[in-house]
Amino acid sequence: MADQKTIAFFPEGAFGPALNSVGIAQACRELGHRAVFICDPGFGGVFEGYGFEEFPVNLSAPMAPEVMAKYWSDFINGHIPNFAKSPYEQIDNYVKECWEAIVDTAVWAEKELPGILATIRPDLICIDNVVLFPAVKRFGVPWVRIISCSENEIPDPDIPPHLSGCGVGDRDGFERFTARFNEVVGPTHEKFNEFLKECGEKPYPIGEFFEASPDLNLLLYPEPVKFARREPLDPTRFQYLEGCVRKEPPYPVPEFQAHNDKPLLYISFGSLGAGDTELMKRIIAAVATLPYRALVNVGDYRDDYQAPPPNVHLASWYPQPSVIPQVDAVIHHGGNNSFTECLYFGKPALILPYVWDGHDNATRVQETGHGLKLHRYDWSGAELAQALETLLTDKAMHAKLAATRAHMQARDGRKKAARLLDGLLRARG
């Protein structure tokens, strides 16, 4: 195409942001544009698998992919004892250490990112991260911020603080969480502001590590569950995408040895949450006693499991967008992909959150009537069974999910994103 442009996607090194960006990039490619990916070396091959060029940028001291994978696996596994804690209690451990690591990635990336951008020569940069990479702003082309985490990553006085898991009416919780977050993360924020100063950027207010793009900001969050803001987002700069569900090959549901005609569950805690194998085994044992079938994503830990019960199928990976349309309910950790895909396909979810915005999504799915939440560990087999029964039989919930599904699918977030990006490119010539 004579008007083909190069769009560089730079998602965070996690499968949620990465696969959301794949969905948008697929739609951009359908419009004739060249979509490429800047990525953490540990994600090498992920984007190539979808047919996109990859440009790795080191976000830490260079290490072999298997060493890097082990680093993050060890990081998560070392925090498993903290998964039982409340969002407030996690500020002093998981949240603090995550922000320290995130800031370090931004500082390290500045060594290589300018050169990589010069090699790609993009006409547009789309970044899905929670921290600013100054080289993106300085490159001289429009840049778009993608917010694939909970909508409250863009703060507002009337909505719960990001990562807090607070309900919309818990104003005391808002203040308590924000005060503790700012106190604990303050030294890391000060370090980041010093880095911004060295890069010629203005400092950010306490608690903020990124800014809105002056050009366009794309929120993966669906409008049917969005918050009522005191300060509404300007629609000329902020657009809700209703999720960006990527295309995956069809998935044939396997034959089960038991309950083959019963409701089908999908259970996944994401690539990192799969490390909590004791919890997974407990859920599998509970499901084994119930009149259901279950597909269980055990990530890289398949060898930790013996032969599953006859009504359970284990795998290290499932093509989730091809699986969820075929199931009756989903148990997940509250990650944004699982959260939005359940809504997109109108499937009730039981969320057992453990970290980050999983807490926010668990609260939101329940307070908007699209599912339920349970404490990650503090539940009995009877309570799990009752929650699943509710998901499968609650008529009001099913009606709400059907309306949300129709709303989201009519808008097709990935194509909407591609149209917006194409329009931005055309406006800039």
pLDDT tens digit sequence for 294-341: 999 998 889 999 999 999 999 999 999 999 999 999 999 999 889 999
Instruction: Report the alpha-carbon angle 57-59-61, nearest 5.
Output: 105
Those residues whose C-beta lies under 8 Å from the C-beta of residue 103, and which sit 6 or more positions away, are: 131, 188, 191, 192, 195, 209
For the chain, the average pLDDT equals 93
Q: What is the pLDDT of residue 72?
A: 66
Cβ atoms of residues 159 and 229 within 8 Å: yes
The mean pLDDT of 66-89, rounded to a whole number, is 80
Q: What is the pLDDT of residue 69?
A: 64
**Paired residues of 351 in beta bridges:** 332, 373
The answer, yes or no, to whether residue 121 has pLDDT greater than 80, is: yes
Q: What is the pLDDT of residue 68?
A: 67
One DSSP character per residue, 131-177 reads: S--HHHHHTSS-EEEEE-S-GGGS--TTSPPTT----TT-HHHHHHH
- Helix, strand or coil, per DSSP, at residue 357: coil
> Which of 68-72, 130-134, 268-272 has the lowest average pLDDT?
68-72
Q: Which two tokens stand for residue 209?
A: 């590590």
Q: Which two tokens stand for residue 338?
A: 């699982």
Q: What is the pLDDT of residue 271?
A: 75
Sign, CA dihedral 287-292-293-296, equals negative
> Which of 40-44, 209-213, 279-283, 356-360 has the lowest average pLDDT?
40-44
The mean pLDDT of 122-148, rounded to a whole number, is 96
pLDDT tens track for 194-220: 999 999 999 999 999 999 999 999 999
CA–CA separation, 240 and 147 (whole Å)? 10
Q: What is the pLDDT of residue 65?
A: 66
Instruction: Return the closest-CA partner of residue 10 out of 177, 172, 150, 122.
Output: 122
CA–CA separation, 350 and 290 (whole Å)? 16
Boundaries of every domain in the chain: 6-242+412-427, 264-409
Instruction: Answer yes or no: same fold for 6-242+412-427 and 264-409.
Output: yes
CA–CA separation, 134 and 201 (whole Å)? 8
Cβ atoms of residues 257 and 311 within 8 Å: yes
> Which of 55-69, 78-92, 160-174, 296-310 has the lowest average pLDDT?
55-69
Q: What is the pLDDT of residue 396?
A: 98
Comparing 297 with 428, the larger pLDDT belongs to 297
pLDDT tens track for 227-273: 999 999 999 999 998 878 888 899 999 999 999 999 999 999 987 78
The percent of residues in the chain predicted with pLDDT above 90, rounded, is 80
The answer, yes or no, to whether residue 405 has pLDDT greater than 60, is: yes
CATH fourth-level superfamily of 264-409: Glycogen Phosphorylase B; (3.40.50.2000)
**37 phi/psi in degrees, rounded to 5:** -125, 130
Cα distances (angstroms) measured from residue 334 to each of 81, 98, 179, 201, 247: 18, 18, 24, 34, 21
The percent of residues in the chain predicted with pLDDT above 70, rounded, is 97
The β-bridge relationship of strands 264-268 and 238-240 is unpaired
Q: What is the pLDDT of residue 423?
A: 95
**Cα 360 vs. chain centroid, distance in angstroms?**
12
Q: Given pLDDT bands bounded at 50, 70 and 90, which one contains residue 226? A: very high
Instruction: Report the alpha-carbon angle 145-72-160, nearest 5.
Output: 45
CA–CA separation, 335 and 318 (whole Å)? 16
Instruction: Return the closest-CA partner of residue 347 out of 303, 400, 414.
Output: 400
The CA-to-CA distance between both ends of the chain, in Å, stands at: 15
Q: Given pLDDT bands bounded at 50, 70 and 90, which one contains residue 419? A: very high
Instruction: Report the alpha-carbon angle 315-49-33, nearest 5.
Output: 140
Torsion on CA atoms 225, 339, 36, 422, rounded to nearest 10 = -20
The answer, yes or no, to whether residue 2 has pLDDT greater than 90, is: no
The answer, yes or no, to whether residue 161 has pLDDT greater than 90, is: yes
The CATH label, of 3.40.50.2000, 3.40.140.10, 3.30.750.24, 3.10.20.30, for the domain at 6-242+412-427 is 3.40.50.2000
The answer, yes or no, to whether residue 142 has pLDDT greater than 60, is: yes
CA–CA separation, 169 and 350 (whole Å)? 22
Torsion on CA atoms 276, 280, 282, 283, rounded to nearest 10 = 140
Q: Given pLDDT bands bounded at 50, 70 and 90, which one contains residue 274? A: confident
> Which of 21-25, 40-44, 278-282, 391-395 has the lowest average pLDDT?
40-44
The mean pLDDT of 133-141, rounded to a whole number, is 95
Q: What is the pLDDT of residue 337?
A: 87
> Which of 37-41, 82-86, 90-94, 269-273 has the lowest average pLDDT?
269-273
Cβ atoms of residues 220 and 340 within 8 Å: yes
Burial of 357 (0-12, 13-18, 19+ CB in 10 A): buried
